[in-house]
Amino acid sequence: MNNTTDNGNITDLGPGQIIYSNTYEVHRIAAPELLIVDRVITPIWYIIGAIGNPLSAGIWLSKKVRGNNSSALYLGSIAVVHTIFIFLHVWVELQQAWGLQTYNRPISCEIFMVLYITPQYLAPILILGFTFERYIAICHPFLKEKVCTVKKATTVIISMAILAALFGLNQAYVWTYDYPSGVCEIRKQAEGFYEVWTWFSEMLIFVAVPLTVLLCNILVIREIKRINKFDVGLNQGDGNRGSN
């Protein structure tokens, strides 16, 4: 029979067969130096992000800046999402680097995983929205006044947030609190779904979306170079006519 320690982190299956079901315990036993590095470096990034992101959000979402600038809504929303993610990541850090029980509890396990993954889905999608607006403004300037409006940007951002939340809701089914081990882990009945869903969502959000962003940026750079060459040729032509 399996014997579980009081803290629910280590499961003894017999002589020489021990399963460490908690990330903190794995690092504490196998690589304690990683915990030291994590505890020192991660708070530095927290401080930078906790200061920079709210400041950026405050600037971009201020009434003066966002008034007629739809791109400001995207940039401000990205800063807000990053701020939320940093706050949620603190709970992960407290558990994985310090061994504190944060979301390793019934119900909070499922809720936290939904909240934790949703900003990770939303940030790349918002970047795609901002990049597409820039592509329209540079490559199709005559459509800018019609497409790149504050009202439409607000609608798109809300739609993106709903889409990311729907993607994130799947985590409530995938994750569950396991009473014997005392950790938040993948539900056994959902292992097949988790593998398929992870491949689908990861390829869509973290591969297809960044590649689309890259393509749009390449097209923008090409268009800017073309415009610059045209302006240079036009100026040279004006100069030659003036000298004549």
pLDDT digits (tens, 9 = 90+) for 74-93: 999 999 999 999 999 999 99
pLDDT of the residue at 242: 56
CA 110 to chain CA centroid, Å, is 19
Q: Where are the beta strands (DSSP E) in 22-104?
A: none
pLDDT tens per residue, range 109-163: 999 999 999 999 999 999 999 999 999 999 998 998 888 999 999 999 999 999 9
Higher pLDDT, 220 or 239: 220
Model confidence, pTM? 0.82
Sheet harboring 10-12: ordered strands across? 3-4, 10-12, 18-20
Classify 128 as helix, strand or coil. Answer: helix
Domains in the chain, CATH or no CATH each: 3-228 (1.20.1070.10)
pLDDT of the residue at 14: 42
pLDDT tens per residue, range 153-170: 999 999 999 999 999 999
Q: Is the pLDDT of residue 179 over 90?
A: no
Q: Which residues neighbour 130 within 8 Å (Cβ) at sequence distance 6 or greater?
A: 71, 74, 75, 78
